[in-house]
């Protein structure tokens, strides 16, 4: 039986902030749905973010708790929240301040409370041997726990002047001891020339494939406006050369990918539009589309549009694969100046595959 429903998590201009952006979602081992996001003073000003809000649902996304502020800072930007829901029930939480200071916290009680922040400065400094970054950020969205227990957090690093977010490269941060220590991964290199097919790789998602390898699905600013992928045997190094997935058009916007179950099914969601250029040559963020692959993201057999006007979107799966959760920015006006709300869509496989 097909199932689909939506619930509004935040409406812009209400609840104390002008804007709520950069949605992320995970489902804990107990089935609790956690949605988290930036609380901003201005919509399209990354530096206006002053906190990270979170809401919890213990009934499969039907109802949610009041907003809990996980992080709040009056003095500088707080951005790019990312979580990992581990099989042991813990929830790992990452965020950064001023795009230069990374922090890690963990919840032992299903996301009700989190430990005190631990600095990730030493881990991020490891990247300087490969790339002398000036700014960095996690994800955003979610990271993953591999079958062998390794935690994998996608990161992007910029080495522009001042607060410039470009040019960029991407990599991963990994832990093999449950989050007690972190190691920098190998960079996945893109061109510094945006006229090249794959340039300025930035916001990235990771998914473990059926054979245990890890695929990065990468947003970039190159001339080929399709998602690019690179595969590593372990999520840390020996990445393949990035290649376009010509079935995944992209409007240069954050998109998300997740394993649907323990088999080869994978879901991907993004604004699947690469036409009608807007400011800077980017396509409007339209046609938010969720896709299903039954063969380890080699092909995409089913797709369905979630919203005509949209933006960033993150996707998660229930532990048993019975339900999927897409948390996204909805109802952007045609000029993409300000999204209207953050919405969680809850649907099942039948809704996606039986049009």
Nearest-angstrom CA–CA distance, 74 and 72: 7
For the entire predicted model, the pTM comes to 0.96
Give the integer Cα–Cα distance in Å for 177 and 304: 39
DSSP string, 30-79: T--EEEEEEEESSTT-GGGEEEEEEEEESSTTSS-PPPEEEEE-SSS-EE
Query: Would you list the DSSP string of 228-247?
Result: EEEEESSSSS-PPPPEEEEE
CATH architecture of 1-117: 6 Propeller (2.120)
Query: In angstroms, what CA-CA distances link 159 with 20, 82, 169, 181?
Result: 27, 22, 9, 25
Which pLDDT does position 43 carry in this prediction?
A: 76
The answer to whether the beta carbons of residues 271 and 251 sit under 8 Å apart is yes
256-259/214-218 β-pairing? unpaired
The ranges assigned to domains in the chain are 1-117
Q: What is the pLDDT along the chain (355 residues), one digit of tens a residue?
A: 889 999 999 999 999 999 999 999 999 999 999 999 999 998 778 989 999 999 999 999 999 999 999 999 988 999 999 999 999 999 999 999 999 999 999 999 999 999 999 999 999 999 999 999 999 999 999 999 999 999 999 999 999 999 999 999 999 999 999 999 999 999 999 999 999 999 999 999 999 999 999 999 999 999 999 999 999 999 999 999 999 999 999 999 999 999 997 678 999 999 999 876 655 667 888 899 999 999 999 999 999 999 999 999 999 999 988 899 999 999 865 555 567 899 999 999 999 998 6
| Cβ atoms of 72 and 78 closer than 8 Å | yes
Strand order in the sheet with 91-97: 118-119, 101-107, 91-97, 78-85, 141-142
Residue closest to 240 by CA, chosen among 269, 203, 211, 213: 213
Contacts of 182 (CB under 8 A, 6+ apart): 104, 120, 123, 153, 173, 174, 175
CA distances from 336 to 194, 253, 283, 331 (A): 22, 12, 10, 9
């Amino acid at each position: 039986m097909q199932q689909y429903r939506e619930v509004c998590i935040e409406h812009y201009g209400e609840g104390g902030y002008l804007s709520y952006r950069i949605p992320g979602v995970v489902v804990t081992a107990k089935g609790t749905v956690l949605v988290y996001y930036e609380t901003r003073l201005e919509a399209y000003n990354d530096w206006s973010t002053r906190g990270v809000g979170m809401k919890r649902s213990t009934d499969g996304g039907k109802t949610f708790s009041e907003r809990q502020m996980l992080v709040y800072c009056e003095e500088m930007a707080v951005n790019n929240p990312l979580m990992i829901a581990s099989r042991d029930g813990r929830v790992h939480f990452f965020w950064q301040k001023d795009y230069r200071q990374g922090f890690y916290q963990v919840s032992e009680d299903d996301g009700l409370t989190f430990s005190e922040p631990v600095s990730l400065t030493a881990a991020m400094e490891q990247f300087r041997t490969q790339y002398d970054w000036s700014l960095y950020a996690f994800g955003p969205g979610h990271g993953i726990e591999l079958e062998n227990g390794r935690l994998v957090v996608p990161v992007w690093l910029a080495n522009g002047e001042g607060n410039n977010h470009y040019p960029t490269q991407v990599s991963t941060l990994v832990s093999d001891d449950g989050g007690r220590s972190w190691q920098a991964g190998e960079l996945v290199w893109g061109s510094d020339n945006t006229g090249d097919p794959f340039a300025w790789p930035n916001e990235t998602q990771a998914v473990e494939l059926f054979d245990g390898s890890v695929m990065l699905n990468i947003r970039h600013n190159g001339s080929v406006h399709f998602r690019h992928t690179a595969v590593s045997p372990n999520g840390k190094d020996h990445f393949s050369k990035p290649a376009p997935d010509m079935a995944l058009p992209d409007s240069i916007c954050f998109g998300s990918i997740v394993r649907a179950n323990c088999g080869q099914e994978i879901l991907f969601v993004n604004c699947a539009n690469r036409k009608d250029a807007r400011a800077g040559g980017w396509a409007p963020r339209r046609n938010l589309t969720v896709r299903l692959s039954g063969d380890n993201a080699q092909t995409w057999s089913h797709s369905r549009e979630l919203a005509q006007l949209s933006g960033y979107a993150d996707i998660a799966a229930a532990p048993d694969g019975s339900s999927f959760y897409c948390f996204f920015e909805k109802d952007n006006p045609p000029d993409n100046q300000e999204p209207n709300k953050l919405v969680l869509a809850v649907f099942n496989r039948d809704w996606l595959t039986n049009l």
